[in-house]
């Protein structure tokens, strides 16, 4: 890229953002918006790791990789989705996708794969001067959403039972299902 970041170079700046994007939420969308709007003429490429690598290095996801890829394709800020993105961005990957800058929040992101010698998957990108910092959105994360569901476990089981799901569908023990159904019947009787 010739000139200062954000100046027109005759072609769009190609920015890359990567992640897991499980339970795609407004925090994800706002981060991608920051990337897309970082410079006047931006083409945003978003990489999303596969289930195989994510489950191995970070843990289980709620959504499948195909669902996560499709969620990203429907985000207005995203121009291109790279499926099965690498855990650590290599020079070859940067060259293949003609990436000018990599976007992510500045917190060190630990490398559980052992591929990044520095321990932070973005350390080398930062050292190259190709890192564009984004800001996290307070109050929302995939982990926060999962915690909300777990904290209201009985409420969500009840909700889904009322919608026709079975205890088996939700992997709920038989006794737990019957207990909640009993509570639902009692609530119905009290309302009469």
What is the β-pairing status of strands 101-105 and 13-19? parallel
3-state secondary structure of 151: helix
pTM more than 0.75: yes
pLDDT of residue 2: 47
Q: Is the pLDDT of residue 6 over 60?
A: no
Average pLDDT over residues 22-40: 97
pLDDT of residue 78: 99
pLDDT of residue 1: 45
58-106 pLDDT, tens per residue? 999 999 999 999 999 999 999 999 999 999 999 999 999 999 999 999 8
- What count of other Cβ atoms lies within 10 Å of the Cβ of residue 84? 13
Contact 57, 112 (CB under 8 A): yes
Q: How far apart are CA 90 and CA 9, in angstroms?
A: 24
Of 48, 77, 78, nearest in space to 63 by CA: 48
Contact 83, 50 (CB under 8 A): yes
Q: How far apart are CA 146 and CA 66, in angstroms?
A: 20
pLDDT of residue 10: 76
Token output for 37: 């709007």
Of 40, 44, 45, nearest in space to 10 by CA: 40
Q: How far apart are CA 14 and CA 104, in angstroms?
A: 14
Q: How far apart are CA 112 and CA 126, in angstroms?
A: 19
Domains and CATH numbers, the chain: 13-139 (3.40.50.620), 152-191 (no CATH)
Average pLDDT of every residue of the chain: 92
Of 108, 118, 110, 61, nearest in space to 87 by CA: 110
55-64 pLDDT, tens per residue? 999 999 999 9
Of 124, 128, 133, nearest in space to 1 by CA: 128
Tell me the pLDDT band of 116, cut-offs 50, 70 and 90.
low
Q: How far apart are CA 81 and CA 190, in angstroms?
A: 52
Q: Is the pLDDT of residue 5 over 60?
A: no
**What whole-number percentage of the chain has pLDDT above 90?**
83
């Amino acid at each position: 890229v010739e000139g200062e970041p954000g100046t027109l170079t005759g072609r769009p700046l190609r920015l890359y953002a990567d992640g897991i994007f499980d339970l795609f939420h407004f925090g994800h969308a706002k981060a991608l918006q920051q990337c897309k709007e970082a410079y006047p003429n931006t083409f945003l490429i978003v990489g999303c790791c596969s289930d195989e690598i994510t489950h191995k290095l970070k843990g289980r996801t709620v959504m499948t990789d195909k669902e996560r890829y499709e969620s990203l394709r429907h985000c207005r800020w995203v121009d291109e989705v790279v499926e099965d993105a690498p855990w650590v961005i290599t020079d070859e990957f940067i060259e293949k996708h003609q990436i000018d800058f990599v976007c992510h929040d500045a917190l060190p992101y630990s490398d559980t794969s052992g591929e990044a010698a520095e321990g932070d998957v973005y350390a080398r990108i930062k050292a190259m001067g190709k890192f564009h910092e984004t800001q996290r959105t307070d109050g929302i994360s995939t982990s926060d959403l999962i915690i909300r569901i777990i904290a209201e476990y009985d409420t969500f089981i009840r909700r889904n039972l009322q919608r026709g799901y079975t205890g088996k569908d939700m992997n709920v023990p038989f006794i737990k299902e019957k207990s909640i159904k009993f509570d639902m019947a009692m609530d119905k009787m009290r309302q009469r």
